[in-house]
Amino acid sequence: MIKTFFSCCKRNAQDKSLWLSFIAGLSLVFAYAPFSQWWLVFIVLPLWFCHLGKQTDHLANIEDTSKNKAKNHRKAVTKHGFIFALGWFASGISWVHVSIDQFGGMPLIISLLLMLLLCCYLALYPALALYIVSRLSPKKQLNLWLIPGVWLVTEYLRGVVLTGFPWLSLGYSQIGGLLSSLAPIIGEVGITATVLLICVTISKIITSHSKKTAISVLACIIFLTLLAQQQTWLTPSDKTIKVALVQGNIKQEMKWQAEQQWPTMLKYLDLTRVNYDADLIVWPESAIPAIESLSTSQEFLDMANRSANLNNSAIITGIINYNFESKEYFNSLIVLGNKHNDEQQGAYYYNNRNRYYKNHLLPIGEFVPFADLLRPLAPFFNLPMSSFTRGNYVQNNLIANDLNILPLICFEIAFAEQLAANFTDETNILLTVSNDAWFGNSHGPHQHMEIARMRALEFGRPLLRSTNNGVTAITDHLGNIQAQAPQFEQYVLKAEVNLVTGKTPYSQHWQLIHLLLPLLLIFIPLLTHFCLGKVSNRSCESV
């Protein structure tokens, strides 16, 4: 009975420690938009690392065979990593449930179960990171210095496996913080590594008897960050353009109704007519709720094209294209009106080359994996327009009013590698369009905007984000929001945008940074531990 009592006490203590990891993960949502408390990560993560160290120290003091001790150590660390990440994603991507619940056509319990499965899947990557760290660590302790490098590897996997979902990466929380100055040099991935490195040093300062290494590392990071703030990578040009982003605020449930097709298209055209003083006018993703290849659509597009031409303006709009020969749908952007100076008065014609086809499709929303199996199960797997074909990974920039514009549609803005692959010396502006009406009044659109701001800062170009109902905004090349439209209102956001010249170090060397950072951050702690171990053994032998 006494043995059973102590066993229950031990289990309750373990449950309590897991709950602390879960709560720590939950709290991280406040570091991201719309809350944007960037400093929070430097409290939550160090305390969680201290908590992890305490749990592993407790296991190290339990008398057991060395084999079982190492196994229990890895199991405990991995479990804490999973539970922490489960809380992190449960609060951070709760906005996904809005689309499942409102448009999925499934009972609440099923939609909640799907959300739980998604969060559990995403939590596997931080859990894998902690498992690898525990495998590489000494048997009786957790080498926290390995976490930044290994974490980057598993975050890379999270961004590519099953098409990838790199949302809520830690670096995005710092877009309004002091570390943002590092983005043009080492990108968001480098900021993530820096955040983790700082948090490890803080936890070491709190718990370690020997604090010299941690203080030295922290001092170096502070110095390099202050140095980065003094650097100027780009030069403002003498060219300024006027832009207008049209936010139609079309309700999602009405968007694809046949009787709403012409009223929607005419609404965008009417809002545009009074803003033709802009050099560039942008309509959001699938703003035109009709297939481009249909004659009615081409009639409207020709009218909008002639109208823009007459006013020396250009329109970029989202539209769905269907190729009758290949029977493929494409989520696309096309340019109407002025293009290059030598073809300003060109007529619109179907399937012209000045267009962009979305490459990185959203699972379930734009394509359904294992479609034959899943589509019969629920309406959620039969959302409108969920059978798209990918465009090419590398495509030409759009040309509008003599501007070179790098476009990305919706989810694609989260993939820095894709933007980098399409970035050229001639690129003037970054453009992303979206329809976040799927996610209602949640924090999803704000996080989406936060990611877009990071891309502007990394690549040193102004960024336009045009959406159906918000967040529609204009961002300068430093990632600062220059102008923003109110959400859930019909609105035209206008501003003058200053163009810049030059390239950031990250835009030129991003591949090297993505490769070397994790290697160095893993190799250096391992090498240090190995060398210190050899020195310790020699000291023992000499004694």
Q: Which CATH class is domain 235-503?
A: alpha beta
What integer pLDDT is reported at residue 324 of this predicted model? 84
Q: How far apart are CA 347 and CA 372, in angstroms?
A: 42
For residue 386, which amino acid is it? Answer: S
Q: Which letter does DSSP use for residue 360 in this model?
A: S
Domain residue ranges in the chain: 2-231+510-542, 235-503
Neighbours of 301 (CB within 10 A): 22
Question: Of residues 79, 204, 358, 503, which has the active-site annotation?
Answer: 358
Q: How far is CA 31 from CA 88, 174, 176, 239, in A?
A: 11, 8, 10, 36
pTM: 0.92
Mean pLDDT by 10 residues, the chain (543 residues): 41 74 97 98 97 72 56 86 98 90 79 93 97 86 93 97 95 97 98 98 90 93 95 93 97 86 94 96 96 92 94 96 88 91 67 94 70 52 67 97 96 97 97 92 95 98 96 97 97 97 97 96 86 49 40
State the pLDDT at residue 327: 84
The encoded tokens of residue 294 equal 């249909």
d(CA 60, CA 56): 6
Out of 199, 204, 255, 410, the active site residue is 410
**CA of 48: how far to CAs of 187, 204, 243, 516, 518, in Å?**
25, 12, 46, 27, 22
User: Could you say which of 119, 199, 255, 285 is catalytic?
Assistant: 285
Buried b (16+ CB within 10 A) or exposed e, 469-492: bbbbbbbbbbbebbbbbebeeebb
Return phi, psi of residue 406, to 5°. -90, 110
Closest to 194 (Cα-Cα) out of 178, 205, 209: 178
* Neighbouring-strand partners of residue 363: 367
Can you say how many angstroms the Cα of residue 221 is from the centroid of all Cα atoms in its chain? Answer: 24
Token reading at 437: 């009406």
Q: Residue 358 catalytic?
A: yes
CB 265 within 8 A of CB 289: yes
What's the pLDDT at 141? 79
Q: What pLDDT, on a 0 to 100 scale, did the predictor assign at position 66? A: 54
pLDDT at 371: 54
Q: Is the distance from CB of 359 to CB of 393 less than 8 angstroms?
A: yes
192: alpha, beta or left? (left if phi > 0; alpha if psi -120 to 50): alpha
Burial-class residue 462 by CB neighbours within 10 Å (0-12, 13-18, 19+). buried
List all residues 6 or more positions away from 530 whose beta carbon is below 8 Å from its beta carbon.
Answer: none
Residues 450, 527: Cα–Cα separation, whole Å: 37
3-state secondary structure of 50: helix
Rounded to whole angstroms, how far apart are CA atoms 320 and 293? 9
Strands 355-357 and 314-323, bridge-based pairing = unpaired
- Angstrom CA distances, 452 to 38, 301, 415, 431, stand at 17, 29, 10, 9
Contact 380, 108 (CB under 8 A): no
CA pair distance 478, 161, nearest whole angstrom? 31
Q: How far apart are CA 517 and CA 71, in angstroms?
A: 29
Q: How many angstroms separate the CA atoms of 281 and 338, rounded?
A: 11
